[in-house]
Every structure is written in structure tokens, then in C-alpha cells.
Amino acid sequence: MQIQVNTDHNIKGHEALTADVNSVVTSALGRLSDHITRVEVHLSDENSDKKHGKGEIRCVMEARLESHQPIAVTQHAATVHQAVDSAAEKLTRLLENTLGRLHDQQSHRTDPLLPEEKIKEESSAASSPDE
């Protein structure tokens, strides 16, 4: 699982921040990493244009699953750490639900076998002795 961290010009994207974000994401999504190819984390300060406004950090976290569309969540918080932690928790829940639904759909399939699958099934039946 590859983790990519992007920040706007108002958030210092130094190595310590990247290491902290990598640690949080790896901890939250580690057990799902077999299904995830990449996680992108986008951090921005939404109130940076206001002189005396309280900073509101936005964290958009996007996971790219093998053979599926990307899944993204957004979280707002007062600090970068709070935004990243909450987004990671939210993304973990969403991925668990999504992967669970995909697993359930595959185990309950009722569509007919594909031609390749029929050939494999017929050849295995023909090679096994019936007598």
C-alpha cells in the first residue's frame, strides 16, 4: 500500500508531518492493505484567507482499491492531527463496509457460469470416474 501526502501552501508539508500521516494511515488501514493499492491524503487550511479566523483543517483521504473505483472521505477539524485521525477512522469503516458488501455479492451470485468456467467444470467431470 502506497501512501501519498499532499498539502496546500498554508500547511507545512515537512517530513515529520508526512511520517505522522503515514503512521496513522498504516495503523488504521493496515489490515485492509491487501485490497488497497494506494491512499492519497490531501490536507488544506480552509480559513487561511481570513486574518483572525480560527483555522479549519480539511483532510480528504482517498483509497484506491484493486479493480474498483476510488473511495474518498472528507473530514474537517481544528488541527491536522485531529483531521487525519478522524478521516482515517471514517475511511476504515467505509472500506470495511464496501469490501464486506463486495464479498457478500460474490458469494451470493446466481448468474450463469462463463463459457470458460463451463469448460473447466465439464473437463473435470469427464476426467473423474463415474463407475
Domains of the chain and CATH, by start: 2-125 (3.30.160.100)
Q: Which of 61, 103, 65 is nearest to 85 (CA)?
A: 61
Residues 71-92 have pLDDT tens digits of 999 999 999 999 999 999 999 9
Model confidence pTM above 0.75: no
| Contact yes or no for 91/73 (Cβ under 8 A) | yes
* pLDDT tens per residue across span 3-27: 999 999 888 777 899 999 999 999 9
DSSP 3-state of 60: strand
Contact between residue 64 and residue 39 where contact means Cβ atoms under 8 Å apart: yes
